[in-house]
A = this chain, B = another copy of it.
């Protein structure tokens, strides 16, 4: 998984030419925040966090988005390591990635 808020830059003595936040870490952090920089994904996260577990079919309605669009967003959140889906039978059950639960709650302002 990529560097999230928990993985910090441990740069000791950076001159003014270098930011305390290294370029690579900045890219990783930006990638994580980009994942939650979308209203649909925030509400999607909120729905999953509140319900504990939801399948994609239960997301289309509340979000008011088409199936491909929901799939697109779940993939982005999944790639960011914020949610994880396990396929049971015909449905994919999405849940908040336990390791990122605190981060997600923080993000949602809870």
CB-CB contacts below 8 Å: A1-46 with B? 5-9, 16-21, 23, 26-27, 29-31, 33-34, 36-46
Name the interface size band of chain A. 35 or more
Chain B residues with CB under 8 Å of A106's CB are: 5, 106
Whether A62 is near chain B, meaning CB under 8 Å from some CB there, is yes
Number of copies: 2
Closest to A31 in B: B37
Whether A92 is near chain B, meaning CB under 8 Å from some CB there, is no
Contact pick for A46, options B20, B33, B46, CB 8 Å: B20
Chain B residues with CB under 8 Å of A36's CB are: 29-30, 33
Closest to A108 in B: B21
Closest to A28 in B: B39
Contact B58 A16 (CB under 8 A): yes
Closest Cβ of chain B: how far from A49's Cβ, in Å?
A: 8
Closest to A41 in B: B30
Give the interface of A toward B (CB within 8 A). Answer: 5-9, 16-21, 23, 26-27, 29-31, 33-34, 36-47, 49-51, 58, 61-63, 106-110
